[in-house]
Amino acid sequence: MHLRAGMPAFPGDPEFRSVPHRSLDRGDPYNLSALAFGSHAGTHLDPPRHFFADGLPIDRLDLEDFNGPCEVVSVNPARNEVGAEDVARVPPSTRRVLFRTANSDRWRVSGAFFPDYAALTPAAAEALVARQVRLVGIDSLSVELDPTGRFPVHHLLLGNGVLILEGLELADAPPGAYELVCLPLRLQNGDGGPARAVLLAR
């Protein structure tokens, strides 16, 4: 996702701001902006520290867990959830999987957050843990849609060492095998890491 003023943000999260600090238009010798945004802005990686006080922070994660071969799996756009049946379609031995849902096409026409986004069910999270997946990604700002505020999907995944990549834009990524390159900001003791995530054809 582009980091930009007015970009979608999860409800309650800080909004992105960019303020000119030095400007050629004002006669300064160069352009420089002051940025302010949350640690889970746009495309970002959730480390265990996001939900567990003693969990690993973003700067202590193993880069191999979120860089390497991955599989993009398309979910029926008529459904607003990723279920265990979708996990069953992930090729065996896959360690990194990204779910492309109706969210990706909606981002193209919506510049604002939409609360009825497609997300993982707890059953899907349990299936991913059983498959020993190391990273799951999705094209929504949260991997789960949980009105209770208990966040069972986050707890299931992060509590079992499955990293979460949220805020992806996958409209131009057909299902199949790719190489994932993902480098979150190296925030010391960070509870999240805004990232540039790129899929390379294999």
Active site residues: 50
Q: Which residues pair with 44 in a beta bridge?
A: 166, 194
Q: Cα–Cα distance between 89 and 109 in angstroms, integer?
A: 29
Going by C-alpha positions, the residue among 23, 24, 43, 47 that lies closest to residue 33 is 23
184 CA to centre of own chain: 10
Instruction: Give burial (CB, 10 Å; 0-12/13-18/19+) of 188.
Output: exposed
Q: Cα–Cα distance between 53 and 127 in angstroms, integer?
A: 25
Going by C-alpha positions, the residue among 13, 171, 11, 173 that lies closest to residue 106 is 171
- Reduced DSSP (H G I as helix, E B as strand, rest coil) percent helix, strand, coil of the chain, to 5: 20, 30, 50
- Residue 91 is given by DSSP the state P
Instruction: Answer yes or no: are the C-beta atoms of 58 and 40 closer than 8 Å.
Output: no
